[in-house]
Chains A and B, each alone.
Chain A
Amino acid sequence: MIDPLVNRIVEDARVKAQRIIDEAEREAKAMIEARRREAIEAARREASSIIMKAEVEAAYLKRRILVDARMRAKWMEIVEKNKLIEDVLREAARRLENMPRDDRYRRFLEDRIYEYGVLAGGGDLEVVLSEDDRGFKLDIDRIAERVEATVGIPTTIRVSDSRLKSRWGVVVRRLDGSVEIDGSLEAVFERLKPKLQPMLARILFMGV
């Protein structure tokens, strides 16, 4: 008669005990979950600055790569244009060096000697020619007279024993070494380059 009652009491106690344990487990699980969520929230608060920093860095990186590429492209263009202009100048220099030593060239040399003689201010001058032009018949005395007439100073001109390195052009200098006007191929090109480069660029690359 008592046993069913005892069994019931024990069973109820077991259920209650299990409930206590279940409740503790639920509470523990909730506590852990809350801490986990708290951690994620804290990390995300920090994340906004990490992501923002990454976006700034990404934009900077992208800009740097594109600026670099554009600069490289521009540089390639400049280098190529310079090369093409240099090709033209080289070819022109080659033709000048190989040009026939005819009357036109003689007149050219005489005009330059006169011009340089005037620039040098007259006086005792000497003319340096290329090896190719050494035997060329130039009317040196006539040129000296013209220089003298222009600058009003007695002028003599003689052909120097020195030779130009290039095969074209002329150098006029005072015998005392105080003035030298360089009309060698290299010097002429060097002087003309600033004027020629934009002109050549217009011809070569117009419309590109």
Chain B
Amino acid sequence: MTEDFVAIIMKLREVEEDVRALIEEAQDRADKILEEAQSSSHRIYREAYLEEVKRIEEEASRIIEDARVEAEREASSILVKAEEMLDELRAKARDRFEEAVKLVLKEVMEGGL
């Protein structure tokens, strides 16, 4: 009976050693995981920062590009209207050409120079 008890104690001590080793090993691994996370956090920060800045810069470029496209569309419409107005001018001037020429002749021939 006493011999059995001693054997049990011995066995339990052995197991206790194994358990301690197991826990220490786990703790070492956990420390390593945290250490790696700590050392990579600067890189992660930098990458995330640059990625976000890039996204924002793209958004900024899009704002400018959208404004440019919209303005060019409006500018094009202004120039189309201007061309239409020029056609109207030419037509009007064609109709009144003779009257205008006669006015010049009258001014030249009758006006004091």
**Interface membership of A115, Cβ < 8 A:** yes
Name the interface size band of chain A: 35 or more
* Distance A68 CA – B44 CA, assembled complex (angstroms): 47
A55 at interface, CB cutoff 8 A: yes
Taking the complex as formed, is A108 at the interface, i.e. its CB lies under 8 A from any CB of chain B? yes
Instruction: Flag if A31 contacts B38 (CB, 8 Å).
Output: yes
For the residues of B in contact with A, the DSSP-based class is helix
Size class of B's contact patch? 35 or more
A196 touches B104 (CB 8 A): yes
Instruction: State the majority secondary structure of interface residues on A.
Output: helix
Our pick among A24, A84, A206 for the contact of B34 (Cβ within 8 Å) is A24
A165 contacts partner chain B, Cβ-Cβ < 8 Å: no
Taking A39-B46, A58-B66, A92-B101 as contacts, is the C-beta distance between A28 and B33 under 8 angstroms? yes
Q: How far is the CB of B111 from chain A (nearest CB, A)?
A: 7
- Contact in complex: B68, A61 (CB < 8 Å): yes
* B-chain residues with CB within 8 Å of residue A2 when the two chains form the complex: 7-8, 11-12
Query: How far, in angstroms, from A44 to B52 measured CA to CA in the complex?
Result: 7
Given A21-B33, A70-B78: A200 touches B103 (CB 8 Å cut-off): yes
Shortest beta-carbon distance, A33 to chain B, in Å? 9
Give complex CA distance A203, B93 in Å. 8
Q: What distance in Å separates the Cβ of A146 from its nearest Cβ neighbour in chain B?
A: 15
In the complex the two chains form, is A77's CB within 8 Å of B85's CB?
yes
A-B contact pairs, 24 of them (CB 8 A): A2-B7, A2-B12, A20-B27, A21-B26, A32-B37, A38-B45, A39-B52, A50-B53, A58-B66, A59-B67, A61-B67, A65-B74, A65-B75, A69-B78, A73-B85, A77-B86, A87-B97, A88-B100, A92-B101, A92-B105, A95-B105, A115-B113, A203-B100, A208-B88
B binding-site residues for A, Cβ under 8 Å: 7-8, 11-12, 15-16, 18-19, 22-23, 25-27, 29-31, 33-34, 36-38, 40-42, 44-49, 52-53, 56-57, 59-61, 63-64, 66-68, 70-72, 74-76, 78-79, 81-83, 85-86, 88-90, 92-93, 96-97, 99-101, 103-105, 107-109, 111-113
